[in-house]
Amino acid sequence: MESFWNRVTSLLNTSTVVELAQILDVKRSTLSSWIHSDRRPPMEVLLKITELTGVDIHQLERGFSYSLDEDDEVAEHHAFSKRIELIEFINSLDDEELEAVWAFLRLCEQRAVKTRTSKPARQPEE
């Protein structure tokens, strides 16, 4: 099976680590360590790869013939996809929009904490 980094270099039509590092805007030494230890890049680099190649993260990871099998955890796939969508949305915001979303999230967090801490303790049944 072809490795993640082989798929990336093939899709981006690069032949050297230096060239790939320039395309991904990362240090050559950092990229080289990811490749040699078969580690995945941080999410922002991963999103850049998907943007440049037009290939979905799951296909980058599992190969071009990847599709969900019945054995796959669909819920995990869905949650992961939602996280990716959320990150992409946040990255598309300007500073003012980001401040508004941040304020909203802080409000939600405060309300969730209040809800969790204000629930009365369950009385033991007699």
| Among the ranges given (3-7, 28-32, 87-91, 122-126), the one the predictor scored with the smallest mean pLDDT | 122-126
pLDDT band at 35, cuts 50/70/90?
very high
How is the chain split into domains, by residue range? 4-117
Global pTM value:
0.52
pLDDT in tens, 98-117: 899 889 888 888 887 777 67
pLDDT (0 to 100) of residue 54: 86
Percent of the chain with pLDDT over 70: 76
Residue-wise pLDDT for 43-55, tens only, equals: 899 999 988 988 8
Please tell me the predicted confidence (pLDDT) of residue 66. Answer: 57
pLDDT at residue 3, as a whole number:
83
Name which residue leads in pLDDT, 91 or 33: 33
Amino acid at 47: L
Specify the CATH number of the domain 4-117: 1.10.260.40
